[in-house]
């Protein structure tokens, strides 16, 4: 398992009024798992897991990751810091192992940890879910994923702390109804298994109140936050997708009114899956 820095070092970090953090790529450390062929990269601001604009899936993955991660941050849900990673012409020339890499801005997610810190886990057995200290954050993330129509299971990472474990959310590359390289927001968001924590967390007596509060938060913040996020997306990531993404954002605003229905449907699917296990 990969090591991670202490929780006090992975708290939410706000961007300056000048925009998102932009770091320079220095060296590729190693290839990461996954279809997008991300790499662990040393930058002038530390280690980042970088999704290159020229990845084998689609450059829209970068847009999705930026939007999903920034919305997690805006909801104060724990997630690693993100940044724009600037790959220079010289850096790209040196990376002969990365096919088609071009200079410019790419998406980076901070790698939580260093070799001298404690362990990091990308999976915990459900029997340990009661020891996860921030279980409500997983319920709130479910509401966000219903709104954004995340077409992939929600991924997370867990840090051992003295009282148990602390979770952070990762893996937002398939939000906005991302199916086969296209944005296609569904009116019937689906349950995607396996869940990062036990189903009992989402079906608990306290979860209903957390869901209602999250719905209200999204409904209140959607318009101003989406306007702000639009300004964070590099122009060359958008390319000819400007109009289509604008339509997606308009659809997201309309979907806020449907969030109670979306979450009820998701919970119904979850209960149904439990009865058939």
The two structure tokens encoding residue 263: 């979450």
The two structure tokens encoding residue 92: 């790209």
Burial class (CB in 10 A: 0-12, 13-18, 19+), 232: middle
Residue 4 half-sphere exposure, CB side, CA atoms within 13 Å? 23
| Per-residue pLDDT tens digits for 239-265 | 999 999 999 999 999 999 999 999 999
Positions in the chain short of pLDDT 70: 1-18, 113-118, 277
Q: What is the pTM of this model?
A: 0.91
| Per-residue pLDDT tens digits for 176-221 | 999 989 999 999 989 999 999 999 999 999 999 999 999 999 999 9
Give the pLDDT confidence score for residue 111 in this predicted structure: 87
15-31 exposure pattern, b = at least 16 Cβ within 10 A, e = fewer: eeeeebbbbebeebeee
């Amino acid at each position: 398992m990969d090591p991670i820095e202490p929780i006090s070092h992975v708290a939410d970090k706000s961007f300056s009024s000048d925009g998102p953090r932009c770091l320079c790529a220095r060296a590729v450390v190693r290839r990461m798992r996954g279809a997008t062929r991300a790499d662990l990269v040393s930058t002038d601001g530390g280690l980042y897991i970088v999704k290159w604009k020229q990845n084998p899936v689609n450059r829209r993955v970068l847009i999705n990751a930026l939007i999903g991660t920034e919305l997690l941050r805006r909801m104060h849900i724990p997630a690693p810091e993100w940044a724009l990673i600037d790959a220079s012409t010289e850096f790209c020339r040196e990376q002969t192992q990365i096919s088609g890499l071009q200079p410019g801005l790419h998406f980076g997610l901070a790698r939580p940890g260093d070799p001298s810190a404690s362990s990091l886990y990308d999976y915990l057995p459900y029997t340990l879910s009661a020891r996860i200290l921030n279980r409500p954050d997983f319920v709130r993330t479910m509401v966000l994923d219903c709104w954004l129509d995340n077409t992939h299971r929600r991924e997370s990472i867990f840090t051992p702390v003295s009282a148990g474990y602390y979770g952070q959310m990762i893996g937002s590359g398939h939000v906005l109804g991302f199916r086969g390289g296209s944005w296609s927001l569904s009116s019937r968001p689906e349950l995607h298994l396996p869940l990062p924590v036990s189903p009992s967390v989402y079906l608990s007596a306290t979860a209903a109140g957390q869901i209602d509060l999250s719905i209200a938060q999204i409904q209140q913040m959607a318009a101003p936050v989406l306007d702000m996020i639009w300004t964070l997306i590099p122009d060359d990531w958008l390319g000819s997708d400007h109009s289509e993404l604008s339509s997606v954002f308009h659809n997201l605003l309309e979907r806020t009114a449907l969030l109670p229905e979306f979450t009820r449907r998701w919970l119904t699917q979850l209960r149904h899956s439990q009865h058939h296990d």
